[in-house]
Amino acid sequence: MPTITGAEIEMAAAPSEAAPVENHYGVGAAPTRETTPPDLAVDVAAMQFAWIFTYPDEVVAGELHVPLGKDVLLNLNAQDVIHSFWVPQFRLKQDVIPGQATQLRFVATKAGTYPLVCAELCGGYHGAMRAEVIVQPEAEFEAWLAENRLASQPAVTETIAVNPAELTPADFLAPYAQTFGVDGGALASLDSQFSQK
Protein backbone atom coordinates (compact mmCIF):
# COMPACT_ATOMS: atom_id res chain seq x y z
CA MET A 1 0.00 0.00 0.00
CA PRO A 2 1.41 3.36 -0.96
CA THR A 3 2.01 5.85 1.80
CA ILE A 4 1.43 9.47 1.11
CA THR A 5 4.35 11.12 2.79
CA GLY A 6 3.43 14.47 1.29
CA ALA A 7 0.46 14.51 3.56
CA GLU A 8 2.54 15.31 6.57
CA ILE A 9 1.97 18.80 7.67
CA GLU A 10 3.93 20.47 10.36
CA MET A 11 1.92 22.49 12.76
CA ALA A 12 3.73 24.35 15.47
CA ALA A 13 0.86 26.00 17.28
CA ALA A 14 -2.84 25.48 17.63
CA PRO A 15 -4.91 28.62 17.66
CA SER A 16 -7.15 30.15 20.27
CA GLU A 17 -10.75 30.79 19.30
CA ALA A 18 -10.32 34.51 18.79
CA ALA A 19 -6.83 34.98 17.46
CA PRO A 20 -6.31 32.04 15.14
CA VAL A 21 -2.90 30.74 14.32
CA GLU A 22 0.73 31.24 14.39
CA ASN A 23 1.84 28.06 12.73
CA HIS A 24 4.66 27.10 10.44
CA TYR A 25 3.09 25.68 7.37
CA GLY A 26 5.40 24.16 4.88
CA VAL A 27 3.94 23.35 1.52
CA GLY A 28 3.96 19.62 1.98
CA ALA A 29 6.16 17.51 4.16
CA ALA A 30 8.09 18.11 7.34
CA PRO A 31 11.28 16.41 6.25
CA THR A 32 13.20 17.25 9.41
CA ARG A 33 10.90 15.06 11.47
CA GLU A 34 10.32 12.26 9.03
CA THR A 35 12.96 10.05 10.64
CA THR A 36 12.08 10.68 14.29
CA PRO A 37 9.32 8.50 15.73
CA PRO A 38 6.18 10.32 16.92
CA ASP A 39 5.21 10.53 20.59
CA LEU A 40 1.81 9.04 19.90
CA ALA A 41 0.35 7.21 16.91
CA VAL A 42 -3.41 6.91 16.50
CA ASP A 43 -5.25 4.90 13.84
CA VAL A 44 -8.15 6.84 12.41
CA ALA A 45 -10.91 5.01 10.56
CA ALA A 46 -13.31 7.09 8.50
CA MET A 47 -16.61 5.57 7.43
CA GLN A 48 -20.08 6.68 6.42
CA PHE A 49 -20.71 8.67 8.68
CA ALA A 50 -18.39 8.44 11.68
CA TRP A 51 -14.81 8.72 12.86
CA ILE A 52 -13.32 5.90 14.95
CA PHE A 53 -10.00 6.43 16.75
CA THR A 54 -7.90 3.49 17.86
CA TYR A 55 -5.11 4.14 20.36
CA PRO A 56 -2.25 1.88 21.38
CA ASP A 57 -3.52 -1.03 23.53
CA GLU A 58 -6.76 -1.24 21.54
CA VAL A 59 -8.40 1.73 23.17
CA VAL A 60 -11.18 2.85 20.85
CA ALA A 61 -13.01 6.14 20.98
CA GLY A 62 -15.40 8.32 19.05
CA GLU A 63 -13.38 11.46 19.64
CA LEU A 64 -9.71 12.24 19.24
CA HIS A 65 -7.81 12.86 22.49
CA VAL A 66 -4.41 14.41 22.03
CA PRO A 67 -1.72 15.23 24.62
CA LEU A 68 -0.69 18.85 24.67
CA GLY A 69 2.62 19.67 23.01
CA LYS A 70 3.29 16.13 21.81
CA ASP A 71 4.16 14.99 18.33
CA VAL A 72 1.10 13.07 17.11
CA LEU A 73 0.92 10.86 14.05
CA LEU A 74 -2.46 9.89 12.61
CA ASN A 75 -2.71 6.86 10.33
CA LEU A 76 -5.83 7.58 8.32
CA ASN A 77 -7.87 4.87 6.64
CA ALA A 78 -11.15 5.10 4.74
CA GLN A 79 -13.48 2.11 5.02
CA ASP A 80 -15.85 2.96 2.17
CA VAL A 81 -15.59 6.25 0.27
CA ILE A 82 -13.31 9.27 0.36
CA HIS A 83 -13.62 11.39 3.50
CA SER A 84 -11.55 14.35 4.56
CA PHE A 85 -10.12 14.95 8.02
CA TRP A 86 -10.51 18.63 8.81
CA VAL A 87 -9.92 20.47 12.06
CA PRO A 88 -10.71 24.08 11.10
CA GLN A 89 -8.96 25.59 14.15
CA PHE A 90 -5.80 23.67 13.29
CA ARG A 91 -5.92 24.78 9.62
CA LEU A 92 -5.33 21.13 8.92
CA LYS A 93 -7.03 19.06 6.25
CA GLN A 94 -6.21 15.71 4.67
CA ASP A 95 -8.33 13.54 2.41
CA VAL A 96 -8.79 10.00 3.68
CA ILE A 97 -8.67 7.85 0.57
CA PRO A 98 -9.74 4.21 0.31
CA GLY A 99 -6.87 2.01 -0.77
CA GLN A 100 -4.21 4.52 0.24
CA ALA A 101 -2.71 4.73 3.70
CA THR A 102 -2.48 8.38 4.55
CA GLN A 103 -0.63 10.06 7.39
CA LEU A 104 -1.01 13.33 9.17
CA ARG A 105 1.43 14.60 11.77
CA PHE A 106 1.07 17.57 14.05
CA VAL A 107 1.82 19.08 17.46
CA ALA A 108 -1.12 20.71 19.22
CA THR A 109 0.02 23.52 21.48
CA LYS A 110 -3.20 24.86 22.98
CA ALA A 111 -5.54 22.88 25.22
CA GLY A 112 -9.20 22.87 24.28
CA THR A 113 -11.95 21.12 22.40
CA TYR A 114 -12.08 21.64 18.66
CA PRO A 115 -14.56 20.41 16.06
CA LEU A 116 -13.47 17.72 13.63
CA VAL A 117 -15.37 17.89 10.37
CA CYS A 118 -15.58 15.64 7.32
CA ALA A 119 -14.84 17.89 4.36
CA GLU A 120 -15.35 15.55 1.42
CA LEU A 121 -18.84 14.68 0.21
CA CYS A 122 -19.39 11.12 1.42
CA GLY A 123 -23.15 10.60 1.17
CA GLY A 124 -26.45 11.86 2.51
CA TYR A 125 -25.31 12.40 6.10
CA HIS A 126 -21.92 13.87 5.19
CA GLY A 127 -22.91 17.01 7.10
CA ALA A 128 -23.49 14.98 10.27
CA MET A 129 -20.04 13.38 10.13
CA ARG A 130 -18.63 15.51 12.91
CA ALA A 131 -16.56 14.68 15.97
CA GLU A 132 -14.25 16.46 18.39
CA VAL A 133 -10.56 16.83 18.99
CA ILE A 134 -9.71 17.22 22.67
CA VAL A 135 -6.29 18.64 23.38
CA GLN A 136 -5.44 18.08 27.06
CA PRO A 137 -2.35 18.17 29.30
CA GLU A 138 -0.36 14.96 29.17
CA ALA A 139 -1.33 13.76 32.65
CA GLU A 140 -5.00 14.22 31.88
CA PHE A 141 -4.57 12.42 28.61
CA GLU A 142 -2.80 9.48 30.26
CA ALA A 143 -5.55 9.23 32.85
CA TRP A 144 -8.19 9.15 30.13
CA LEU A 145 -6.25 6.49 28.28
CA ALA A 146 -5.84 4.31 31.36
CA GLU A 147 -9.51 4.63 32.22
CA ASN A 148 -10.49 3.31 28.83
CA ARG A 149 -7.77 0.71 28.38
CA LEU A 150 -9.43 -2.25 30.08
CA ALA A 151 -13.05 -1.59 29.35
CA SER A 152 -12.47 -1.34 25.66
CA GLN A 153 -11.91 -4.96 24.69
CA PRO A 154 -15.42 -6.49 24.55
CA ALA A 155 -17.06 -3.59 22.78
CA VAL A 156 -14.47 -3.60 20.03
CA THR A 157 -15.07 -7.16 18.96
CA GLU A 158 -18.76 -6.63 19.20
CA THR A 159 -18.62 -3.64 16.91
CA ILE A 160 -16.40 -5.19 14.30
CA ALA A 161 -18.91 -7.97 13.76
CA VAL A 162 -21.56 -5.65 12.36
CA ASN A 163 -21.49 -3.83 9.06
CA PRO A 164 -21.18 -0.19 10.03
CA ALA A 165 -22.54 0.97 6.68
CA GLU A 166 -25.94 -0.39 7.63
CA LEU A 167 -26.14 1.48 10.89
CA THR A 168 -26.95 5.08 11.61
CA PRO A 169 -24.13 6.93 13.37
CA ALA A 170 -26.17 6.94 16.58
CA ASP A 171 -26.68 3.18 16.47
CA PHE A 172 -23.09 2.68 15.59
CA LEU A 173 -21.80 4.77 18.43
CA ALA A 174 -24.28 3.50 21.02
CA PRO A 175 -22.04 0.68 22.31
CA TYR A 176 -19.37 3.25 23.10
CA ALA A 177 -21.66 5.60 24.92
CA GLN A 178 -21.07 4.21 28.38
CA THR A 179 -17.56 2.92 28.18
CA PHE A 180 -15.71 5.54 26.22
CA GLY A 181 -17.31 8.71 27.29
CA VAL A 182 -19.08 9.49 24.04
CA ASP A 183 -21.26 12.35 25.02
CA GLY A 184 -24.88 11.35 25.56
CA GLY A 185 -26.05 14.70 24.25
CA ALA A 186 -24.21 14.16 20.99
CA LEU A 187 -25.95 10.81 20.55
CA ALA A 188 -29.32 12.37 21.22
CA SER A 189 -28.72 15.04 18.61
CA LEU A 190 -27.62 12.43 16.09
CA ASP A 191 -30.76 10.48 16.84
CA SER A 192 -32.97 13.48 16.33
CA GLN A 193 -31.29 14.21 13.01
CA PHE A 194 -32.01 10.72 11.81
CA SER A 195 -35.56 10.56 13.04
CA GLN A 196 -36.36 13.71 11.07
CA LYS A 197 -35.47 12.36 7.69
Partner 1 sequence: MTQTQLPGQAAAPVTAPETAPPKAWKWYDYFTFNTDHKVIGIQYLVTSFIFYLIGGLMAVAMRAELYSADADLLDPNLYNAFLTNHGTIMIFLWIVPAAIGGFGNYLIPLMIGAKDMAFPNLNALAFWLNPPAGALLLGSFFFGGSQSGWTAYPPLSLITANAAQSMWILAIVLVGTSSILGSVNFVVTLLKMRVPGMQWTQLPLFCWSMLATSVLALLSTPVLAAGLILLLFDINFGTGFFRPEMGGDVVIYQHLFWFYSHPAVYLMILPIFGIMSEVIPVHARKPIFGYKAIAYSSLAICCVGLFVWVHHMFTSGTPPWMRMFFTVSTLIVAVPTGVKIFSWIATLWGGKLRLNSAMLFAIGLLSMFVIGGITGVTLGTAPFDIHVHDTYYVVGHFHYVLFGGSVFGIYAGIYHWFPKMTGRMLNETWGRIHFALTFIGTHLTFLPMHELGLQGMPRRVAMYDPQFEFVNQICTFGSILLGISVIPLFINVIWSWSQGPLAGRNPWRALTLEWQTTSPPSIENFEETPVLWTGPYEYGIDLLSADGNKSVQELLGEVSVEAQ
131 binds, among partner 1, Cu ion, none (CB under 5 to 8 A by kind): none
Task: Give me the least distance between CB of 60 and partner 1, in Å please.
Answer: 24
Window 116-175: residues binding Cu ion (CB under 5 A) = 118, 122, 129
105 lies in the binding site for partner 1 (CB under 8 A): no
Per CB under 8 A, does 167 bind partner 1? no
3-state secondary structure of 148: helix
Q: Number of C-alpha atoms within 13 angstroms, CB side, residue 6? A: 5
Q: Is 105 in the site for Cu ion (CB under 5 A)?
A: no
- Could you tell me the smallest distance in angstroms from the CB atom of residue 97 to Cu ion? 12
Is residue 22 within the footprint of partner 1 (CB under 8 A)? no
13 contact choice in partner 1, Cu ion, none (CB below 5 to 8 Å, kind-dependent)? none
Cβ closer to partner 1: 100 or 159? 100
84 binds partner 1 (CB under 8 A): yes
The answer to whether residue 13 forms part of the interface with partner 1 (CB under 8 A) is no
Dihedral angle at the C-alpha atoms of 86, 180, 184, 157, nearest 10 degrees?
A: 90
- Is residue 176 at the binding interface for partner 1, with CB under 8 A as the rule? no
Euclidean distance between CA atoms 170 and 88, whole angstroms: 24
Task: Name, in order, each residue with C-beta under 8 angstroms of 173's C-beta and a sequence gap of 6 or more.
Answer: 50, 62, 182, 187, 190
Find, among 152, 165, 140, the residue nearest to 47 by Cα.
165
- Give the C-alpha separation, 142 to 65, whole Å: 10
If one asks whether residue 112 binds partner 1 (CB under 8 A), the answer comes out as no
Site for partner 1 in 37-56 (CB under 8 A): none
Binding residue for partner 1 (CB under 8 A) from 127, 137, 154, 184? 127
Q: Which does 117 bind (CB under 5 to 8 A by kind): partner 1, Cu ion, none?
A: partner 1
Give the x-and-dash track for 73-102 against Cu ion (CB under 5 A): ----------x-------------------
CB atoms within 10 A of CB 27: 6
